[in-house]
Amino acid sequence: MTLAELKPGQQGIIKDVSSKSIPLKLLEMGCLPGNSVELVLVAPFSDPMYLNINGTHLAIRRDTANHILIDTNNE
Amino acid sequence: MSKQINVALIGNPNTGKTSVFNALTGLNQKVGNYPGITVDKKQGVCKLERGVKAHIIDLPGTYSLNASSLDESVVIELLLNKKDKDYPDVAVVITDVENLKRNLLIYTQIKDLEIPTILVINMSDRMVYKGISLDIEYLEQQLDTKIALVSTRKNNGIDELKQLISNYKTLSNKPCLHTQDIDKTYFEGLKKAFPNQSLYKLWLVITQDVNFGKIDRNLIEDTSNFKTKSESDLKRLQQKETIKRYQFINNVLKKGQTIDLKSAKDLRIKLDRILTHKIWGYLIFFGILLLMFQAVYDWATYPTDLIDAGFSSLADWVKNTLPEGAFTNLLAEGIIAGLGGIMVFIPPIAFLFLFIALLEESGYMSRVVFLMDNIMKRFGLSGKSVVPLISGNACAIPAVMAARNIESWKERLITILVTPFTTCSARLPVYVIIIALVIPDGSFLGISYQALTLMCLYIIGFLTAIFSAYILNKILKIKSKSYFVVEMPSYKIPLFKNVVLTVVEKTKTFVFEAGKIILAISIVLWFLASYGPGEQFNDAENIIQNTYPNLSLEAQNDLIAEHKLEHSYIGIIGKTIEPAIKPLGYDWKIGIGLVTSFAAREVFVGTLATIYSIGSANDIDDEDEAMSTIKNRMAEEVYSDGSKVFTLASGISLLLFYAFAMQCMSTLAIVKRETNSWKWPMLQLVFMSGFAYIVAMIAFQILK
C-alpha cells in the first residue's frame, strides 16, 4: 500500500520510494526505506498530511505520499 | 597578539542555530549587505581567551549540502572555495537534541569536506523532559569530533563551546565514513582524473551547479579520460549516498543515544489537534491576523505620532537656527523632511516583524502553512505563500525573499509576482492623505466612511493578489514538479533575545535601504524644483511684476513662486506627461508625484509637500500646521477654469492607481535578484502599472 492510504494514528515501515518523483530533500529528512512512519494528522480537506518519519515531524502533500510504498504492521 | 579564527555555523533549520550565534556574538553582529541583493549573511565577532577573536558567520539553515535553494547554495559555495576570505578554519554544526538523527546528516557531509568540525547538541535542557540520554564520550569517538552540549535557553555550554573553538587545531579533519563505497569504480576513476582534489568536493560539484577554484562541472564532464554518469544515475547515487549516511548515523545513535519514551511528555499533538482543526484552526489564525493588523495600524500610531512631531520640531529648529539660504532650505525642506518620512514607518514595520518573528520562533507558522496549503494550492500558490502574503503588508522586499523556501519553482514565481499587490506600508501615507481629502465624513454601522475605504483598499489588494495568482497559474506554462515539504517543529516559547534581535535587524535594514532611496530622491527633487532652464524661470520676478503690477506684494510673491515651479525642471517634466495622465483626472503636479513614486511610493506625499511648499512663498512655522497646510493646499488646488483638482473622482482614481501600480525600484531589484532575470520584474512593472492605469481611468471617467 502507499503512504497516502494510511489513516491518522496508523503506523508503517517505508518499503520503497520512487526516486524519480520524490525530491532528494524529502529523503534527506529521513524518508528512506526501512524507516518507520506514522500519520499524525491530516489537514482540513484531507491534504496535506502530517507525518512522523523516524522521529522527524513533517508535512507533505497527498500526491507525494502516493509515491511512497509502505508496509503496515498488521499486514 | 591578535589572531582571528574564521568560524562557520552550519545546521538544519529549527535547530536554534541563530540562538547559538546570538549567544556567541551578542550585539557584535551585522548583516552583510541588503538581504536579497546578497543572501542574508550574518556575521559577528566573539572574543576568545588570550586575545584571540573568532569571526563567526551564521550560514543559512540547510538540510544537506545538496542545495535546492539560493540560501543553501551560499553554504556550499563558501565551503567549496578555500580562497574565500570567509572560508572557515573550523565549522560548528548545530543540532537539536530532539532531532539528532536527521541533524547529523549534514554533519557527516561537512566532515567529508575535511574541515575541522565541532558538534553542538543544542536545546539540551529538553533532554530530561523528552527522556533522552546521550553517551557523549561514545559519540565523540564514533563521530570523530568534540561535542558541546548547549542550551541557549538556560545559557549553558557556551563557554565550553568557546573553549573548543579556541582549540580547533586539535580537532580531527578526517571524514567519518567512506562515501566512495557507494560506487567504488566510479570514484576511483574520478580520483585518477583529478588526483589533487578532494573526492567529496568533486562529487558535490558534479551533482550540482557550482564552481569552485578552477574546476567547474563542465570541465569535469569534458575530461576525456573520465566518463561521468547520466542524470538519473547520479540521482540514484545521491539516494544511495543518503541511505549510507543514515545507516552510519543510525548505528552510532543506537549505542550513543537512549530515548525513554515513557518519560517523554508531549504537548505537541494536543496543540496540533486544536491549531490545525478545521474550524478552530482557521478561527485562531484569523484572530491572530486581526490582532496583528490592530497592532500595526492602531497601536503603532502612538509612537509614529511622536516621531512625526520630533522631526517637525527638528526641521523648525534647523530653519530658525541656521542662516537663511539654499543650504538651510535643502536641509529643512529636502533632507529632514525626507528622513522624517522614513522614520514614521519604523513603528508599524517593527510591529509586523515582531509578530512574524513570534509566529516563526514558536513553531506556529508551520501550522499555518499546513493549514492553508490546500486552499492556496487551488490558486497556484503554496501553503508557504502565506508568509510572503502576510509580510507583504509591511513591505514587499522581505516578503519576496520569504518566498525562497517554496520548493516548486512555479508556485514560488507566482508568489513573487503577486506579492506586490498586497498593501505595503508605503501605500499607507498616500491612502491616508487622499482619503482625508476626498472621502466625506459620516459613518456606516458605526464605522466611518474613511476607515471603510481604507479597509476596502486592503481587501482589494489581497483579492487582486489571489486572483492574479489564479490567472498566472492558468497562463504560465512552466513545468515544475509541484511538491511540498514542511518541517513541523516542536512548539517553543520564543526567546526574547532572538525576537528582539530579529526585529531590530530587519527594521534597521529596511530603514537604511529605503532611507537611502528616499533621501536621494528628496535631494534630487529639491534641486529639480528649485532650478530651471531659460528666462521663464530666471526672470520670473520681472515677468510677474510686469504682468500683474497692481497686485499686492504677497500675492505677487505667490504667483512668482508658482510661475517658477511651473518652469523649473520638474515642472517641465510634469507638464510633459500631463496629457497622458489627464484621462485619469490628474494635473501636472500630481504627475510629478507619480513620476517620483516609481522610485518608492512613500515619496508621493513628500513630493507634494515639497512642491506645494516651494510653490508658496509663505514660510510654515509649525509642522502640524504644515501637514494640515499641505492638505489644505491640496484641497484648494484648482484648474484654470476654477474646478477642483482633488475631487471624489480623481481621488478614487489616485487610490486605485496606487493600489495596483508597480512603483518601487527596490522591489523590482529584489525580484530580478530572486528570479535571476529581468523578464519577471519588467512583466510586473508593465502589467501592474498598465492595469493600474486602466482601472484608474475607468474609475475617473465613471465618477466624474
- Residue B232 with chain A: CB contacts under 8 Å: 20
In a domain, B89, yes or no: yes
pLDDT tens sequence for chain A (75 residues):
899 999 998 999 999 887 677 778 888 888 888 888 999 999 988 889 999 998 889 999 998 999 899 998 654
List of long-range contacts for B263-269, beta carbons under 8 Å, 24+ apart: B263/B128, B263/B131, B264/B129, B264/B130, B264/B131, B265/B129, B265/B130, B267/B491, B268/A57, B268/B490, B268/B491, B269/A40, B269/A41
Q: Indicate which CATH number applies to the domain containing B25.
A: 3.40.50.300
Tell me whether residues B268 and A44 touch, CB distance under 8 A. no
Query: Mutate which of B207, B405, B485 to disrupt the A interface (most A C-beta within 10 Å)?
Result: B485
Cβ of residue B64 closer than 8 Å to a chain A Cβ: yes
Packed helices B427-438 and B449-475: angle between N→C axes, nearest 10 degrees = 130
At A32, which CATH number? 2.30.30.90
Q: Count CB neighbours of A48 within 10 A.
A: 27
- Hey, which residues does B8 pair with through a beta bridge? B57, B91
Note down the domain range covering A45.
3-72
DSSP track, B343-407: HTTHHHHHHHHHHHHHHHHHTHHHHHHHHHHHHHHTTT--GGGHHHHHHTTT-HHHHHHHGGG-S
Q: At B671, list the grid cell.
A: 525580484
pLDDT digits (tens, 9 = 90+) for B96-113: 998 898 899 999 999 988
| Element counts in chain B: helices (H) and strands (E) | 33, 12
Q: For B152-203, write each residue's pLDDT tens digit.
A: 888 889 999 999 999 888 888 888 887 777 888 888 887 787 777 778 888 8
B69 touches chain A (CB under 8 A): no
pLDDT tier for residue B209 given thresholds of 50, 70 and 90: low
Give the pLDDT confidence score for residue B35 in this predicted structure: 34
Chain B residues close to A68, C-beta within 8 Å: none
For the beta carbon of residue B288, count every other beta carbon within 10 angstroms. Answer: 15
CB count within 10 Å of CB A73 equals 9
Over 90: is that where the pLDDT of B570 sits? no
Collect all residues with Cβ–Cβ distance below 8 Å to B507 and sequence separation of at least 6.
B346, B349, B350, B353
pLDDT for position B627 = 54
Rounded to 10 deg, the angle between the B553-566 and B540-547 helix axes is 130
> B128 vs B271, which has greater pLDDT?
B271
Write down the pLDDT at residue A17.
85
Residue A23 to residue B485, Cβ atoms within 8 A: yes
- For A44, counting Cβ atoms within 10 Å of its Cβ (0-12 exposed, 13-18 middle, 19+ buried), the class is middle
What Å distances lie between residue B116 and B93, B101, B370, CA to CA? 11, 21, 38
Confidence band, pLDDT 50/70/90 cuts, at residue B418:
very high
Quote the CA–CA distance of B681 and B660 in Å, as a whole number. Answer: 15
To the nearest 5 percent, what fractions of chain B are helix, strand and coil?
65, 10, 25
- Residues B338, B606 contacting (CB under 8 angstroms): yes
Local structure of residue B34 (DSSP, 8 states): S
* Average pLDDT of the residues in B688-693: 95
Q: Which three cell numbers stand for residue B96?
A: 537539536
Residue B217 C-alpha, separation from nearest chain A C-alpha, in angstroms: 20
Q: A46 to chain B, minimum CA–CA distance in Å?
A: 9
Record: contact B485-A32, CB cut-off 8 A: no
Judge whether B272 and A40 are in contact, CB under 8 Å: yes
Q: How far apart are CA B491 and CA B476, in angstroms?
A: 38
Handedness of CA B91, B19, B32, B211 (dihedral sign): positive
Cis, peptide link before residue A48, omega less than 30° from 0: yes
Q: For B66, which of A24, A47, A56 is closest by C-beta distance?
A: A24
Q: Is B378 on the interface with A (CB under 8 A)?
A: no
The model carries a pTM of 0.80
Answer whether A40 sits within 8 Å of B105, measured CB to CB. no
Whether A69 and chain B come into contact, CB under 8 Å, resolves to no
Q: Is B99 close to A55, i.e. CB distance below 8 A?
A: yes
Interchain proximity B68–A41, CB inside 8 Å: no
Domain end, chosen from B140, B170, B200, is at B170
Judge residue B189's burial from the number of C-beta atoms within 10 Å of its C-beta, 0-12 exposed, 13-18 middle, 19 or more buried: middle
Residue A45 DSSP SS3:
helix
**Subunit contact B235:A21, Cβ cutoff 8 A:** no
Asked if residues B63 and B110 have their Cβ atoms less than 8 Å apart, the reply is no
Does the pLDDT of residue B332 top 70, yes or no?
yes
What average pLDDT does range B316-333 have in this prediction? 80
**Strands B90-96, B3-11: pairing kind:** parallel
Tally of structural domains, chain A: 1
| pLDDT computed for residue B596 by the predictor | 79
The greatest distance separating any two alpha carbons of chain B, rounded to the nearest whole angstrom, comes to: 101
The amino acid that residue B630 corresponds to is I
Report the chain A residue with the minimal C-alpha distance to residue B243: A32
Do residues B636 and B572 lie in contact, with contact meaning Cβ atoms separated by under 8 Å?
Answer: no
- Tell me the pLDDT of chain B averaged across its residues: 83
Do B42 and B73 contact (CB within 8 A), yes or no? no
CA within 13 Å, CB half, B533 = 4
Facing residue for A29 by CB, picked from B102, B282, B407:
B102
Phi, psi angle pair for B43, to nearest 5°:
-130, 150
Across chain A, mean pLDDT equals: 87
> If you average pLDDT over residues B577-599, what whole number do you get?
87
Mean pLDDT, to the nearest integer, of B390-415? Answer: 85
- With cut-offs at 50, 70 and 90, classify the pLDDT of residue B565: confident
A59 contact residues in B (CB cutoff 8 A): 366, 369-370, 373, 484-486, 488
Say if CB B62 and CB B93 are below 8 A apart.
Answer: no
In a domain, B86, yes or no: yes
* Chain A CB contacts of B482 below 8 Å: 61, 63
Task: Quote the percentage of chain B above a pLDDT of 70.
Answer: 89
Say yes or no for a CB contact (<8 Å) between A25 and B487. no
Asked if residue A17 lies in contact with residue A68, where contact means CB atoms within 8 angstroms, the answer is yes
**What was the pLDDT predicted at B127?**
86
Integer angstrom CA distances of residue B149 from B124, B128, B484: 6, 13, 33
Q: What is the pLDDT of residue B31?
A: 61
**Do the chains contact at A27 and B235, CB–CB below 8 Å?**
no
Angle (deg, nearest 10), helices B449-475 and B648-660:
40
Question: Is B383 within 8 Å of B372 (Cβ atoms)?
Answer: yes
pLDDT tens for residues B6-65? Answer: 999 999 988 888 889 988 987 667 665 433 334 567 888 888 877 888 999 998 888 888
Greatest distance between any 2 Cα atoms in chain A: 30
Interchain CB contact of B137 with A (< 8 Å): no
Mutate to test the interface with B, among A26, A28, A54 (most CBs of B within 10 A): A28
> What amino acid is encoded at B638 in this protein?
V
The Cα–Cα gap between B372 and B378 comes to: 10
pLDDT tens, residue by residue, B504-552? 887 887 777 667 776 777 778 778 878 888 888 888 888 888 888 887 8
Tally Cβ neighbours within 10 Å of residue A9.
9
Interface check A33 vs B, CB under 8 A: yes
Judged on CB neighbours under 10 Å (0-12, 13-18, 19+), B527 is: middle
Set of chain B residues whose Cβ sits within 8 Å of the Cβ of A43: 276, 370-371, 373-374
pLDDT at B428 over 70: yes
B482 to chain A nearest CA, in Å? 9
CB contacts, 8 Å: B63 with chain A: 25, 28-29
Nearest to B240 by CA among B182, B184, B181: B182
Average pLDDT over residues B455-477: 93
Helix axes B588-597, B569-581, angle to 10 degrees: 100
How high is the pLDDT of residue B212? 43
Burial B394-408 (b: 16+ CB within 10 A, else e): bbbbbbbbbbbbbbb
Sequential DSSP letters for B560-628: HHHHHHHTSHHHHHHHHHHHHHGGGT--HHHHHHHHHHTTBTTHHHHHHHHHHHHT--S----HHHHHH
Chain B contact for A9, CB < 8 A? no
Residue B474 lies in a domain: no
Domain tally, chain B: 2
The verdict on a CB contact (< 8 Å) between B68 and A25 is: yes
pLDDT above 90: percentage of residues in chain B = 26
Q: Are A51 and A57 in contact (CB under 8 A)?
A: yes
In order of A35, B264, B272, B364, B470, the CA distances from B487 in angstroms are: 17, 21, 13, 11, 26
Among B182-196, B246-260, B290-304, B471-485, the range with the most confident prediction by mean pLDDT is B246-260
Q: In this model, does residue B218 exceed pLDDT 60?
A: no
User: In angstroms, rounded to a whole number, what is the distance separating the alpha carbons of residues B686 and B181?
Assistant: 54
Considering only CB atoms, which chain A residues are within 8 Å of B238?
24
Domain, as residue range, for B165? 3-170
Residue B176's pLDDT is: 81
CB atoms B102 and A41 under 8 Å: no
Give the angle subtended at the CA of B569 by the CAs of B589 and B540, to the nearest 5°. Answer: 90
* Nearest partner of B514 among B393, B617, B394, judged by Cα: B394
Contact of B29 with B44, CB cutoff 8 Å: yes
Smallest CA-to-CA distance from B159 within B18, B50, B23 is with B23
What is the DSSP secondary-structure string of B471-509?
A: HHHHH---------EEE-PPP-PPPHHHHHHHHHHHHHH
In degrees and rounded to multiples of 5, residue A12 shows phi and psi of -160, 180
Can you give the pLDDT at residue B699?
95
Q: Can you give the pLDDT at residue B620? A: 45
Contact status of B490 with chain A (Cβ, < 8 Å): yes
| Residue B389 domain flag | no
| Strand-pair partners of B93 | B10, B119
Q: DSSP secondary-structure letter at B297?
A: I
pLDDT at residue B622 tops 60? no
- Chain centre to alpha carbon of residue B357: 13
**pLDDT at B264 exceeding the cut of 70:** no
Give chain B positions within 8 Å (CB) of A40. Answer: 269, 272
C-alpha cell, B669: 531589484
- The answer to whether the CB of B170 falls within 8 A of the CB of B140 is no
B349 belongs to a structural domain: no
For A32, name the nearest residue in chain B, comparing CA atoms only: B243
- The pLDDT tens digits for A1-10 are 899 999 998 9
